[in-house]
Structure 1
Amino acid sequence: MRYDVRDPLWATGLAVLLGAIMTMLDTTVVNVALFALGREFAATPATIQWAVTGYLLALSMTVPVTGWATGRFGARAVWVTSLALFAAGSALSAVAWSAGSLVAFRAVQGLGGGLLLPVGQAMLARAAGPERMGRAMAVISVPAMLAPVAGPVLGGLFVAGPGWRWLFLLNLPICAAALLAAARLPRDEGGVRQPLDVLGLALLSPGLAALVFGLAEVGEGASLTHPALWAGLALVAAFTVRGLRGGGTLVDLRLFGDRGFASAVAALACYSAAMFGVTVLVPLHSQIAGGGTALDAGLLLAPMGVGAALTMPIAGKLTDSRGPRGVAAAGIAVAVAGLAAFAAADGFAVMMAAMLVLGLGHGLVSPSVMAAAFRSLDPAVLPAATTLSTIAVRVAAPFGVALLTVVLQVSTRASAADPFTWAFGCAIGLAAVSLAPVALVGSRAWRGSSSARA
Structure 2
Amino acid sequence: MSGPTAAPSDKIDGAVLKIAGVVVLGAIMSILDITVVSVALPTFQSEFTATYAQVAWTMTGYTLALATVIPLSGWAADRFGTKRLYMLALLLFTAGSAACATADSIEQLIGYRVLQGLGGGMLMPLGMTIMTRAAGPHRIGRLMAILGIPMLLGPIAGPILGGWLIDTASWHWIFLINVPIGVLALVYALLALPKDTPEPTESFDFLGMLMLSPGLALFLFGVSSLPETGTITATKVWATMLVGGLLVIGFVIYSFKPRHPLLDLRLFRNPRLTVAAVSMFVFIIAFMGAGLLFPSYFLQVRGESTLAAGLLIAPQGIGAMITMPIAGTLADRVPVGRTVPFALLLIAAGFFTFTQVDADTSYLLLCGSLFVMGLGMGGTMMPIMTSALKSLSGPEVARGSTLVNILQQIGSSIGAAVMSVILTSRLNGSAAIPGAVDPSTGKPVTEAGLAIAVQQKPELAKQFPVPPGMIEKGLQFAADSFATTFWVGFALVLATFIPVAFLSRRREEPPAGERPDGSEQVPVLVH
User: Normalized against structure 2, the TM-score is what?
Assistant: 0.75
In 1, distance between residues paired with 2:169 and 2:303?
27
Cross-structure match for 2:174:
167
Residue 67 of structure 2 is aligned to residue 60 of structure 1: yes
In 2, distance between residues paired with 1:245 and 1:88?
39
- The alpha carbon displacement at 1:95 in A equals 4.7
Alignment of structure 1 residues 83-162 onto 2, 5 Å: 83-95=90-102, 102-162=109-169
In 2, distance between residues paired with 1:303 and 1:439?
28
Which among 305, 315, 319 is matched to residue 307 of structure 1?
Answer: 319
Give the letter aligned to residue 327 of structure 1: T
Identity %, equivalent residues: 35
138-147 or 392-401: bigger deviation: 138-147
Cross-structure match for 2:521:
none
In 1, distance between residues paired with 2:23 and 2:350?
31
In 1, distance between residues paired with 2:350 and 2:316?
10
49-58 or 406-415: bigger deviation: 406-415
Structure 1 unaligned blocks of 5 or more: none
Residue 377 of structure 2 is aligned to residue 362 of structure 1: yes
Indicate conservation of the 8 Å contact 2:38/2:295, yes or no.
no
In 1, distance between residues paired with 2:482 and 2:41?
27
CA deviations over 1:352-408 (Å, ceiling 9, x no partner): 111111111111111101111212222323332232221111111121223334455
In terms of fraction of residues, the more helix-rich structure is: 1
In 1, distance between residues paired with 2:260 and 2:165?
46
- The alpha carbon displacement at 1:237 in A equals 2.0
- The alpha carbon displacement at 1:34 in A equals 5.6
| Residues 336 and 241 (structure 1), Cα distance of their counterparts in 2 relative to 1, 3 Å cut | same
Cross-structure match for 1:208:
216
Indicate conservation of the 8 Å contact 2:391/2:510, yes or no.
no
Cross-structure match for 2:192:
184
26-35 or 154-163: bigger deviation: 26-35
In 2, distance between residues paired with 1:303 and 1:81?
35
Cross-structure match for 1:196:
204
In 1, distance between residues paired with 2:183 and 2:389?
29
Structure 2 residue matching 1:321: 3-state secondary structure: coil
Which among 56, 77, 80 is matched to residue 73 of structure 1?
Answer: 80
Residue 459 of structure 2 is aligned to residue 397 of structure 1: no
Which among 224, 248, 269 is matched to residue 236 of structure 1?
Answer: 248
Give the letter aligned to residue 387 of structure 1: T
Cross-structure match for 1:381:
396
Indicate conservation of the 8 Å contact 1:86/1:111, yes or no.
yes
CA deviations over 1:69-128 (Å, ceiling 9, x no partner): 122223233222212222232334445566665544433222112111222223333433
In 1, distance between residues paired with 2:387 and 2:341?
12
CA deviations over 1:219-250 (Å, ceiling 9, x no partner): 45631231333333222222222214558621
Which among 267, 275, 285 is matched to residue 263 of structure 1?
Answer: 275
Structure 1 residue matching 2:27: 3-state secondary structure: helix
Indicate conservation of the 8 Å contact 2:163/2:305, yes or no.
no
| Residues 279 and 50 (structure 1), Cα distance of their counterparts in 2 relative to 1, 3 Å cut | closer
In 2, distance between residues paired with 1:257 and 1:426?
31
Cross-structure match for 2:496:
434
Give the letter aligned to residue 125 of structure 1: T
- The alpha carbon displacement at 1:22 in A equals 1.2
179-188 or 91-100: bigger deviation: 91-100
- The alpha carbon displacement at 1:35 in A equals 6.5
In 2, distance between residues paired with 1:95 and 1:426?
38
Q: How many residues are paired up?
A: 448
CA RMSD in angstroms, aligned pairs only: 3.3
Indicate conservation of the 8 Å contact 2:90/2:120, yes or no.
yes
In 2, distance between residues paired with 1:33 and 1:160?
10
Give the letter aligned to residue 29 of structure 1: V
Residue 37 of structure 2 is aligned to residue 30 of structure 1: yes
71-80 or 177-186: bigger deviation: 177-186
In 2, distance between residues paired with 1:405 and 1:106?
20
| Residues 268 and 47 (structure 1), Cα distance of their counterparts in 2 relative to 1, 3 Å cut | closer
Structure 2 residue matching 1:29: 3-state secondary structure: helix
- The alpha carbon displacement at 1:169 in A equals 2.6
Give the letter aligned to residue 415 of structure 2: G
413-422 or 191-200: bigger deviation: 413-422
- The alpha carbon displacement at 1:162 in A equals 3.7
Indicate conservation of the 8 Å contact 2:317/2:374, yes or no.
yes
Which among 363, 373, 398 is matched to residue 348 of structure 1?
Answer: 363
Q: Give the greater-gyration-radius structure (CA).
A: 2
In 2, distance between residues paired with 1:36 and 1:422?
25
| Residues 27 and 213 (structure 1), Cα distance of their counterparts in 2 relative to 1, 3 Å cut | farther
In 1, distance between residues paired with 2:279 and 2:417?
19
Cross-structure match for 1:224:
232
| Residues 127 and 377 (structure 1), Cα distance of their counterparts in 2 relative to 1, 3 Å cut | farther
Give the letter aligned to residue 24 of structure 2: L
Indicate conservation of the 8 Å contact 1:89/1:105, yes or no.
yes
CA deviations over 1:270-309 (Å, ceiling 9, x no partner): 1111111221333455566x64535564444221111111
Indicate conservation of the 8 Å contact 2:31/2:151, yes or no.
yes
Indicate conservation of the 8 Å contact 2:315/2:367, yes or no.
yes
In 2, distance between residues paired with 1:358 and 1:305?
9
Give the letter aligned to residue 26 of structure 1: D
In 2, distance between residues paired with 1:291 and 1:162?
23
- The alpha carbon displacement at 1:257 in A equals 1.8
305-314 or 89-98: bigger deviation: 89-98
In 2, distance between residues paired with 1:231 and 1:58?
18
| Residues 447 and 247 (structure 1), Cα distance of their counterparts in 2 relative to 1, 3 Å cut | closer
